[in-house]
Amino acid sequence: MVKLILKQGEAKTIRMTVKDGSGVPVDLSGATLLLGVKKGKSEAAYALSKGDADFDKSRASEGIVSVHLMAEDTDLEEATYIGELRCAWPGPPEVVDKSTDFFIQIRQAVTT
């Protein structure tokens, strides 16, 4: 399972590649994306989220998208969080898929 390590208040661009069960990239050109990060699976609210407009989709047809996390996005309590990428395609019926969970570890920033 993927684990990203970030420092509190660190700005970073995260690139994600979405593949199907056979390892073939999924065309995300027509998808609406949401990145959600929360402390535990049972929590209803995201500690951090990024909507479709926040994504760079210039390589979406190849299954590759990226999203920039700003310093204020990662200014979270030091902990390990669970992330998910939700992809929705227009219907009918609308199809919504969720990525395999991944971990984002927020570490305390070093200050002087």
Q: Which pLDDT tens digit goes with each residue over 73-98?
A: 999 999 999 999 999 988 776 777 88
Cα 98 to Cα 102: distance, rounded to the nearest angstrom:
11
Q: Where are the alpha helices (DSSP H) in the chain?
A: none
Cα 53 to Cα 70: distance, rounded to the nearest angstrom:
14
* Pairing of the two strands 48-50 and 32-38: antiparallel
**What is the CATH number assigned to the segment(s) 3-107?**
2.60.40.10
Whole-model pTM: value is 0.87
Q: Which pLDDT tens digit goes with each residue over 45-80?
A: 999 999 999 999 999 999 999 999 999 999 999 999
For residue 78, the Cα-to-chain-centroid distance in whole angstroms is 18
- Say what the pLDDT of residue 1 is: 60
In the chain, where are the structural domains located?
3-107
